[in-house]
């Protein structure tokens, strides 16, 4: 008994309705087919590292580019395949080109100079060291200003000791 895992597609019902009304060559079919060709990419944190894994079966190291610019890490691939067949006077050339780009924003404090990338058995693993997060929120203790109250009372008491005659004259 064989079983297969099917990727869930939330737009399948919409596509079925669209095929019913517009036929099999609808716009969303072509968009969905191209989206399904994008390799699976996982982004997670592990032991103080930010990890990006892209599943790139059949891609060679020379076809992969990893770049960092302004806090964004971009993984891209471009493949060009050419197949030629010669049979007597017939000559057949098949060429395919495919590309993939994925950009992720790096967390604050990421050490871009220590980023490593490794392609192993079709899985590209990019590791970004991230220092322990510094607590951004801090509660500041508020103290009572007892000395200020005492000085204010002293000034008020000096004013109240003024002679009554001066207070009446004004």
Domain ranges in the chain? Answer: 8-37, 39-133
Looking at residue 133, its pLDDT comes to: 58
Q: Which residues, 6 or more positions from 105, have their beta carbon under 8 angstroms from its beta carbon? A: 71, 72
pLDDT in tens, 4-55: 666 777 777 777 777 776 665 545 444 544 444 678 889 998 888 999 999 9
Sheet order of strands, 41-46 included: 41-46, 49-55, 123-129, 116-120
Confidence of residue 161 (pLDDT cuts 50, 70, 90): low
Please state the rounded mean pLDDT for residues 126-141. 79
Whether the CB-CB separation of 48 and 56 falls below 8 Å is answered with no
The rounded mean pLDDT for the chain is 76
Confidence of residue 98 (pLDDT cuts 50, 70, 90): confident
Q: Which residues, 6 or more positions from 132, have their beta carbon under 8 angstroms from its beta carbon? A: 48
Backbone angles phi, psi at 163, to 5 degrees: -60, 145
Q: What is the percent of the chain where pLDDT is above 70? A: 69
Q: What is the percent of the chain where pLDDT is above 90? A: 25
Q: Provide the CATH number for the domain formed by 39-133 in this structure.
A: 2.60.40.790
């Amino acid at each position: 008994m064989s079983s297969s895992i099917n990727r869930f597609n939330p737009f399948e019902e919409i596509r079925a309705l669209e095929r019913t009304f517009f036929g099999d060559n609808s716009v969303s079919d072509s968009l969905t087919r191209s989206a399904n060709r994008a390799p699976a990419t996982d982004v997670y944190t592990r032991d103080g590292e930010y990890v990006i894994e892209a599943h790139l079966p059949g891609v060679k190291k020379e076809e992969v580019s990893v770049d960092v610019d302004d806090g964004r890490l971009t993984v891209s691939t471009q493949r060009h395949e050419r197949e030629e067949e010669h049979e007597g006077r017939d000559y057949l050339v098949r060429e395919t080109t495919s590309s993939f780009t994925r950009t992720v924003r790096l967390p604050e404090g990421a050490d871009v100079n220590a980023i490593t990338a490794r392609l192993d058995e079709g899985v590209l693993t990019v590791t970004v060291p991230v220092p322990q997060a510094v607590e951004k929120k801090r509660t500041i203790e508020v103290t009572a200003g007892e000395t200020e109250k005492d000085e204010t009372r002293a000034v008020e008491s000096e004013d109240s000791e003024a002679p009554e005659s001066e207070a009446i004259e004004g």
